[in-house]
Amino acid sequence: MRLGVLDVGSNTVHLLVVDAHPGARPLPAYSHKAELRLAELLDEDGAISDEGMDRLVGTVREALQAAEDKGVEDLLPFATSAVREASNADRVLARVETETGVKLIVLTGEEEARLTFLAARRWFGWSAGRLLVLDIGGGSLEVAYGLDEKPDAAVSLPLGAGRLASSWLPGDPPSAEEVRALRRHVRAEIARTVSEFSRLGRPDHVVGTSKTFKQLARIAGAARSTEGIYIRRSLSRASLEEWVPRLAGMTAEECAGLPGVSEGRAHQLLAGALVAEAAMDLFGVAELEICPWALREGVILRRLDHLPSS
């Protein structure tokens, strides 16, 4: 069957269409993205503005039309931290449903972490052993650890690259004081959760998902996306420690000129790098492997698990 996943994230609204069958690997058929940066469209009260809602409704309509054009039989629409944490979330959800007919399911941070973990487990298989999965989104950082398909520990922290960039790094390039303040904040937030994971033992394999980790791996020398998803890509903490001071001195325009970095996300690359470096340091990770699958694939896999076998 042809499934569509509509992901209303903190940075983008992304429609992923796949041909999927129980017991088989989902095959990507079509992808449609629109950058909204909802995490950066919140007013002083933490509400998504009327302009933001207008743009969201229009983008959902476009995605819905694309899903119909591509023959999607079942659409799985969900929203993550930007909508989840908006003070007017109920109004946003009601307006989207009234004007488009799409009822967005708001995932909790822990659900995000668990579904992303499921995707990573299916990608790497049981032979990977105990997995530690790190995912840096636009609005939040998810961390999950476990041996099975359901993690033994999963947390979500408000440390998304877009959120932090807009709140903590107004300068272009940011000042040294701004960077130091964000570094302290990120490390304090992550440090509170480390003991919850360290008591479970050291992981056998550490995985990074999301655009942020992919971009950081690419600028550190990993293969470009055009070379295919099956090439092993990794990111070392040593590379990050070299790149963070360099990124701190670059403008958004200069960051956009780096390999694999899109113009729309360039301004949040440093914030994402600070989160990645802190997580790898505090969790004692020397190197992690990039996983091509993440939250959207986890949503698809969970849906397939609940389909009757043919």
Predicted local distance difference test score (pLDDT) of residue 40? 75
Predicted local distance difference test score (pLDDT) of residue 164? 95
> Residue ranges of the domains in the chain?
2-106, 109-295
Three-state DSSP class for residue 120: helix
| Ordered per-residue pLDDT tens for the chain, 310 residues | 899 999 998 888 999 999 988 888 899 999 999 988 887 777 788 899 898 899 999 999 999 999 999 999 999 999 998 899 999 999 999 999 999 999 999 999 999 999 999 999 999 999 999 999 999 999 999 999 999 999 999 999 999 999 999 899 999 999 999 999 999 999 999 999 999 999 999 999 999 999 999 999 999 999 998 898 899 999 999 999 999 999 999 999 999 999 999 888 999 999 999 999 999 999 999 999 999 999 999 999 999 888 766 5
Predicted local distance difference test score (pLDDT) of residue 106? 96
Predicted local distance difference test score (pLDDT) of residue 45? 86
Note the CATH number of domain 2-106: 3.30.420.40
Q: What's the pTM value of the predicted model, to 2 decimals? A: 0.94
Using CA atoms, how far apart are residues 17 and 9, in angstroms rounded to an integer? 16
Predicted local distance difference test score (pLDDT) of residue 64? 96
Three-state DSSP class for residue 142: strand
Using CA atoms, how far apart are residues 51 and 36, in angstroms rounded to an integer? 11
Predicted local distance difference test score (pLDDT) of residue 237? 98
Name which of 96, 102, 153, 157 is nearest 130 in CA terms. 153
Helices (H), the chain: 50-69, 81-84, 89-100, 109-124, 161-168, 176-198, 211-219, 237-248, 252-256, 269-282, 295-305
Predicted local distance difference test score (pLDDT) of residue 310? 52
Predicted local distance difference test score (pLDDT) of residue 309? 60
| Amino acid (one-letter) located at 46 | G
Q: Do domains 2-106 and 109-295 have the same CATH topology?
A: yes
Q: Rounding to the nearest 10 degrees, give the CA dihedral for residues 217, 223, 227, 231.
A: -80
Q: Which of the four CATH numbers 3.40.50.1110, 3.20.20.70, 3.10.20.340, 3.30.420.150 does domain 109-295 have?
A: 3.30.420.150
What separation in angstroms does the CA of 38 have from each of 112, 250, 304?
17, 24, 29
Whether the CA torsion 18, 40, 133, 287 is positive or negative: it is positive
Predicted local distance difference test score (pLDDT) of residue 21? 84
